[in-house]
Amino acid sequence: MELLVSMLVPLILAGTALYGMARRVDVYDALLSGAGEGLGVLLRIVPALAALLPAVYMLRASGALELASGILAPVLEAVGIPPETVGLMLVRPVSGSAALGVGAELISAYGPDSLVGRTAAVMLGSTETTFYTIAVYFGAAGIVKTRYAVPAALCADLAGFLAAAWAVRLFFSS
Amino acid sequence: MAMAAIWTGMVVVSILCGLAQGSGTQVAAAAVEGAAAAVELSLSMAGILCLWMGVMEVMRRSGLAEGLSRLLRPVLGRLYPAFARDREVMDSISANVSANLLGLGNAATPLGIRAARLMSRRTPGVASDGLCMLVVCNTASIQLIPTTVAGVRAAAGCRTPFDILPAVWLASALSVCAGILAAWGLSKLWRD
pLDDT tens, position by position, B127-141: 999 999 999 999 887
- Closest Cα in chain B, distance from residue A40 (Å): 9
pLDDT at B103: 67
Cβ of B113 within 8 Å of Cβ of A141? The answer is yes
Structure ipTM over 0.85, yes or no: no
Which of A137, A169, A173 should we substitute to test contact with B (largest number of B Cβ atoms within 10 Å)? A137
Which of A13, A41, A58, A173 should we substitute to test contact with B (largest number of B Cβ atoms within 10 Å)? A58
Give B137-165 pLDDT, tens digit per residue: 998 877 777 777 888 898 888 888 888 98
Tell me what the mean pLDDT of segment A102-116 comes to: 90
Distance, in Å, from the CA atom of B121 to the CA atom of A142, rounded to the nearest integer, reads: 10
Which H helix or E strand runs over A49?
Answer: helix A27-62
CA angle A32, A36, A42 (to 5 degrees): 140
Residues of B in contact with A41 (CB under 8 A): 49, 53, 110, 113-114, 117
pLDDT at B19: 93
- How far, in whole angstroms, is CA A133 from its chain's centroid? 8
Nearest to A17 among B58, B143, B146 (CB): B58
Nearest CA in chain B to A162: B171
Cβ of A41 within 8 Å of Cβ of B140? The answer is no
Which H helix or E strand runs over A126?
Answer: helix A115-126
- Give the 3-state secondary structure of chain B: CHHHHHHHHHHHHHHHHHHHCCCHHHHHHHHHHHHHHHHHHHHHHHHHHHHHHHHHHHHHHHCHHHHHHHHHHHHHHHHCHHHCCCHHHHHHHHHHHHHHHCCCHHHHHHHHHHHHHHHHCCCCCECCHHHHHHHHHHHCCCCCCCHHHHHHHHHCCCCCHHHHHHHHHHHHHHHHHHHHHHHHHHHHHCCC
